[in-house]
Amino acid sequence: MKFLEALNTFMGRVSEVVQPGQFLQGRLASASNGLVTIQLVSSNYIPATQEVTAISDNITFIRILP
């Protein structure tokens, strides 16, 4: 099983994605074709929910939260 295929089993779960110089936290929306999409939760810094796409080769690690 490949990395992105394994991530697909966690769709909809809250996760943290770490890239050099960037930290994303939100719901895992999709993982395919070398891209991982996270639906960011709203906060004081982000007034509304947004989707952010990260290139999987640039991801340092992903933590799936309970």
User: Residue 43: its pLDDT value, please?
Assistant: 67
Per-residue pLDDT reduced to its tens digit, 25-47: 999 999 999 999 999 876 667 77
Q: Kindly report the average pLDDT of the chain as a whole number.
A: 89
User: Residue 48: its pLDDT value, please?
Assistant: 78
Q: Three-state SS for 57?
A: helix
Task: Tell me how far the alpha carbon of residue 10 is from its chain's centroid.
Answer: 10
Q: Three-state SS for 50?
A: strand
User: Residue 2: its pLDDT value, please?
Assistant: 87
User: Residue 30: its pLDDT value, please?
Assistant: 94
pTM (two decimals): 0.82
CATH T-level fold of 3-64: SH3 type barrels. (2.30.30)
Return the domain boundaries, the chain. Answer: 3-64
